[in-house]
Amino acid sequence: MRIYFMGICGTAMGNAALLLRECGHEVLGADTGIYPPMSTTLAAAGIEILEGWSPERLEKLAPDLVVVGNAQSRGHPEVEWLLNERKIPFTSVPEILSRLLLSNRRNIVISGTHGKTTTSAMTAFLLARAGVNPGWLVGGVPRDLSSGAELGGKDAPFVIEGDEYDSAFFDKRSKFLHYNPRVLVVNNVEMDHADIFRDLADVQRSFRHVSRIVPGKGWILVNGDDPGALALLPCPWTKVVTAGLAEGCDLRLADFADSPEGVSFTLAWKGGAPIRVQLALNGLFNARNAAMALLSSVLIREPVPEAIPDLLAEGAAAISSFVGVHRRQETLVETPALVAVEDFGHHPTALACTLDALRARWPGRKVVAVFEPRSNTSVTNLFEKEFTQALAHADGALIGHVHRAEKIAPEKRLDTARVAEALRRDGREAFAAKDSAEVSAKLEGIALSATAEKPVLVAFFSNGSFDGVIGRFAAGRRAK
């Protein structure tokens, strides 16, 4: 089949294109933002990337199928041509993955408001170390795997990040409803994606839908410490296990400690002997991510019950060498005076937990959070109070301008000046920048103030480019 990807340079689109090429299909696509690393990865695989949009070109190419990216909608010239002419069938990324790749695989679907990418990368890493030749599709750039996407063995497990966001402009179902889970991991469930969900109950409804397609011989792994995830239970049609700190969890996490070397903790399965785990990442949330990855990578192999503790112990030994994913607590600069870290966090819970984890990794430093409100939820005032509370976990905050503010009604827009003012009243240093140039200027002052005697940690939070601020700052510090 000849498949055309509309928006091929997106992380999910590009990785899906690579997988379908590996399945034997002819793949090509177009985009407007053609830049590394995805563009070079696609080119290296022999996939043609066309610049811009052209209905006339698409008609001449005459592919068998068009995959429409999540970023494309009505008004897009190629979308309008597809709808008007009806000459070529079209579908979404989740649907094509379901149809051509996931329908006959034993899939581990990693879901949740937070931690999907790291947990997916951990799970694929553990299965690869166990020698089962897994496939995977991770919504990021893993540092421990060969790439973000791998087909794996035909009969081997497949790990996929299960996003609750909608599939396409014409398919408003959550992506994970297409992914045929044998094992469903529910890391946590909170309100997010206010552009498509009304409230937490609406988010949970989508999670309940995906839980209902887990087969009787499958598993649902639930964070036993998260009220939003626990509210999905019971699920009597399949097997359910819980993992967490709480009494009664099937996989009990205890003896947690966080330090500059990473986290350490124990895991005990069904009240059995504790297994010591050392992880070179920080934060209790990463300990939970690891617990979910360890358990899912064991259960997908359908072991006899008495073998589970030994397999968990083998996984615990392997995960100690796991490094992580780019843009998740990724260190960009580290000197005695200044540390700069980049994180993908864009939800209040993620900011607060990550800031606490960074303090454990670099104790004694003044922590400055630099936050870009960019996601469809963070640009609104839905979480204005919660973002203020999250940024208070830092000593200072530098808040960027609201991304595409002109598209949001003033009464619904995040008021960054009000957030900064509230932080100052709480004794924090805080500044709301009017543009990226002002962010960069403030950052220069912060960097100049940092000394070995008064060291500073700058933590960047953005789920986008931050207008290049992060890269320029890191490059400038390295050059000096």
pLDDT above 80 for 454: yes
Residues 55 and 165 in one domain: no
* Model pLDDT, residue 251: 98
* Model pLDDT, residue 237: 98
Residues 30 and 111 in one domain: no
- Domain of residue 433: give its range: 330-479
325 within some domain: no
Last residue of a domain, one of 66, 92, 118: 92
Residues 218 and 140 in one domain: yes
The neighbour count for residue 202, using CB atoms within 10 Å, is 13
The neighbour count for residue 478, using CB atoms within 10 Å, is 11
pLDDT above 90 for 479: no
pLDDT band at 10 (very low <50, low <70, confident <90, very high): confident
Residues 131 and 6 in one domain: no
Residues 285 and 434 in one domain: no
Last residue of a domain, one of 67, 92, 117: 92
Q: Phi then psi for 344, rounded to 5 degrees?
A: -80, 0
Residue 222 in contact with residue 238, Cβ under 8 Å?
A: no
The dihedral of CA 264, 242, 154, 36: what is its sign? Answer: negative
135: domain CATH number is: 3.40.1190.10
Strands 251-259 and 262-269 turn out to be: antiparallel
Residues 247 and 122 in one domain: yes
* Model pLDDT, residue 36: 73
Residues 168 and 207 in one domain: yes
99 within some domain: no
pLDDT in tens, 157-201: 999 999 999 999 999 999 999 999 999 999 999 999 989 999 999
> How far is 376 from 362, CA to CA, in rounded Å?
31
Q: Which of 257, 247, 323, 260 is nearest to 287 (CA)?
A: 257
Q: Which residues of 265-274 are buried (b: 16+ CB within 10 A; e: fewer)?
A: bebbbeeeee
pLDDT above 90 for 236: yes
* Model pLDDT, residue 141: 84
* Model pLDDT, residue 227: 97
147 within some domain: yes
> How far is 255 from 34, CA to CA, in rounded Å?
47
* Model pLDDT, residue 259: 97
256 within some domain: yes
- Looking at the DSSP assignment, which residues form a beta bridge with residue 398? 370, 431
Q: Is the peptide bond before 234 cis (omega within 30 degrees of 0)?
A: yes
pLDDT band at 96 (very low <50, low <70, confident <90, very high): very high
> How far is 6 from 18, CA to CA, in rounded Å?
14
pLDDT in tens, 262-295: 999 999 999 999 999 999 999 999 999 999 999 9
346 within some domain: yes
The dihedral of CA 460, 124, 37, 81: what is its sign? Answer: negative
15: domain CATH number is: 3.40.50.720
Name which residue leads in pLDDT, 10 or 370: 370
Q: Which of 274, 266, 38 is nearest to 147 (CA)?
A: 38
Residues 143 and 259 in one domain: yes
Mean pLDDT of 428-442: 96
* Model pLDDT, residue 29: 96
pLDDT in tens, 322-379: 998 988 999 999 999 999 999 999 999 999 999 999 999 999 999 999 999 999 999 9
pLDDT above 80 for 33: no
pLDDT above 90 for 316: yes
pLDDT in tens, 288-315: 999 999 999 999 999 999 999 999 999 9
Q: Phi then psi for 15, rounded to 5 degrees?
A: -65, -35
270 within some domain: yes
Last residue of a domain, one of 250, 284, 319: 319
Residue bearing tokens 């990578």: 297
pLDDT above 80 for 480: no
385: domain CATH number is: 3.90.190.20
379 within some domain: yes
Residues 352 and 474 in one domain: yes
7 within some domain: yes
pLDDT above 90 for 39: no
* Model pLDDT, residue 362: 97
What six digits make up the tokens of 475? 């490059």
Average pLDDT, rounded, for the chain: 95
With residue 117 as reference, give the H or E element that holds it.
helix 116-129
* Model pLDDT, residue 40: 85
Question: Which one-letter amino acid corresponds to residue 381?
Answer: N
pLDDT in tens, 395-410: 999 999 999 999 999 9
Mean pLDDT of 27-56: 90
> How far is 214 from 239, CA to CA, in rounded Å?
9
Q: pTM of this prediction?
A: 0.94
Q: How many domains does the chain have?
A: 3
pLDDT above 90 for 1: yes
Residues 217 and 258 in one domain: yes
CA angle 8, 10, 16 (to 5 degrees): 65
Residues 131 and 84 in one domain: no
pLDDT above 90 for 140: no
Q: Which of 36-40, 100-104, 383-387 has the lowest mean pLDDT?
A: 36-40
Mean pLDDT of 34-45: 82
Percent of the chain whose pLDDT exceeds 70: 100
* Model pLDDT, residue 19: 95
Residues 301 and 191 in one domain: yes
